[in-house]
Amino acid sequence: MKKIAMLGVGYVGLVSGTGLADFGNEVICYDIDPAKIEKLNNGKIPIYEPGLVDLVKKNVDKGHLKFTNDLAQAVRESEVLFLAVPTPSGEDGAVDLSYVFNAVDQIAKHINGFKVIVTKSTVEVGTNDRIRERLLADKIAPEMFEVVSNPEFLREGSAVGDFMRPDRVVIGTSSEKALEIMKEIYRALYLIETPIVATDIHTAEMIKYASNAFLATKISFINEIANLCELVGADVQMVAKAMGLDGRIGKKFLHAGPGYGGSCFPKDTSALTKIAEKAGMRATIVEAVMEVNRRQKMRVVEKLLKVVPDLTKKTIGILGLAFKPNTDDVRDAPALVVIDEILKRGGQIKAYDPEAMNEMRKHFPQITYVASIEDAVKGVDALIIMTEWNEFRNLDLNYLMSVMKNPIMIDTRNIYDPQKVRAAGFIYDCIGRKIVN
């Protein structure tokens, strides 16, 4: 058992801290926001993530997990300090590391013994070198600390399972002592033969960016193929299925849709192009991935305009606001672009999402948010399905026909059979599938 401080209790910090506590470690989670810590100490979880509420309660009750806004306490009582602070995109698309370096400066004030400082936040290559230099500049003796890169690979909506049963654990360090401490922290995974990838720090930092950029590439690739399928009369779902059967390709992330969003892929692809630029090259494939993704979000609007050319005073129903199901995260969600473009053209919105409406209100307080699917579809001039929540997969088509002003459906997640929806009387469009009239 190790004594761990998780500095930053956002999405990554809360899931990771809770998971490490469940592995038998003693974890104290720190955040600068006292309101967030107060909520957590009162059993209220600030994010929606399936399974997290119960896991937090279990480990708090066991005494393995605590929350504080006392940084000095968190640092002094812990041997291993995880940095899980925000690393947002700056105005130029590069990573803003100010939160990381501010946390390091604060740590330096309270170091009272040997510490392993672990970056869990996604940082550009070379950041951990700069952390070491910063600590040395703060007069921290080199024998008092080691720096480790331990990138996270959590998918929103399935983060608890990803942490408890990961594909791999990446540990970047030049210190055998730090490596052994990290292996002890992850001992529960080591015992079930989870691959531990021990490497140097720069490689560990790059693994995170390369992984996310490749997954984003698969999404943009299949979306571009989907657009081509529409032009030549092919079915992207069958194309993706056949591609996925090839073991060299794999079936995951080959689902055509309205483009990727969330907190990772947009930020990390942008950051990777800046890392390449700084190193003296262009990441041309990644640049293309970003451009395809930008266009894919606009294609949803183009599909709507084909069937409703004038959106002035038209009401569009939107089902799904989060960038994916099982999360309330709307960061870079395709719905943001679609809503904005509809409003620019004089349209009105009625929107429903099981979890993400409060988050979307921060961006578009002026649209109408409703409490149910039924309310979202009544009297609308067209319906757009933006997120594949399970409750959207079995809509009563007869009911929709009876309450919608115009029977128009744009299914950006391909969750319906085009022929069945067309047979029910709808004008129907989707992404990359052959529709027989």
pLDDT of residue 92: 87
d(CA 88, CA 333): 16
Helical H runs in 235-386?
Answer: 236-244, 265-279, 284-307, 334-344, 357-361, 373-377
The phi and psi torsions of 25 (rounded to 5 degrees) equal -80, 160
Residues 4, 10: Cα–Cα separation, whole Å: 16
Annotate 137-188 with three-state secondary structure.
HCCCCHHHEEEEECCCCCCCCCHHHHHHCCCCEEEECCCHHHHHHHHHHCHH
- For residue 74, give the nearest of 38, 43, 101, 112 by alpha carbon: 112
Q: Indicate if 264 belongs to the active site.
A: yes
Checking DSSP bridges between strand 80-83 and strand 65-68, what pairing results, if any? unpaired
Buried-exposed string 89-110: b where 16+ CB fall within 10 A, e elsewhere: beeebbbebebbeebbebbbee
131, 85 in Cβ contact below 8 A?
no
How are beta strands 196-199 and 145-149 bridged, if at all? unpaired
pTM exceeds 0.75, yes or no = yes
The angle formed by the CA atoms of residues 225, 230 and 234, to the nearest 5 degrees, is 75
CA-CA distances (angstroms) from residue 256 to 74, 177, 178, 216, 379?
Answer: 45, 46, 42, 12, 29
Please list the pLDDT of the chain residue by residue as tens digits (437 residues).
899 999 999 999 999 999 999 999 999 999 999 999 999 999 999 999 999 999 999 999 999 999 999 999 999 999 999 999 999 988 888 899 999 999 999 999 999 999 999 999 999 999 999 999 999 999 999 999 999 999 999 999 999 999 999 999 999 999 999 999 999 999 999 888 899 999 999 999 999 999 999 999 999 999 999 999 999 999 999 999 999 999 999 999 999 999 999 989 999 999 999 999 999 999 999 999 999 999 999 999 999 999 999 999 999 999 999 999 999 999 999 999 999 999 999 999 999 999 999 999 999 999 999 999 999 999 999 999 999 999 999 999 999 999 999 999 999 999 999 999 999 999 999 999 976 55
- The per-residue pLDDT for 436 is 58
Question: Between vectors from CA 386 to CA 413 and to CA 155, what angle results, nearest 5°?
Answer: 80
At 368 the three-state DSSP class reads: strand
**Tokens at residue 200, please?**
């140097």
CA 348 to chain centre: 28
Q: Domains of the chain by range and CATH?
A: 3-199 (3.40.50.720), 209-289 (1.10.1040.10), 298-429 (3.40.50.720)
Cβ contact 410:429 at 8 Å:
yes
H/E segment holding residue 220: helix 201-232
Q: At what angle do helices 127-137 and 98-110 cross, to 10 degrees?
A: 40
Task: Tell me 89's DSSP state.
Answer: B
Q: Are 273 and 93 in contact (CB under 8 A)?
A: yes
CA–CA separation, 342 and 219 (whole Å):
25
Is 382 in a helix, a strand, or coil?
strand
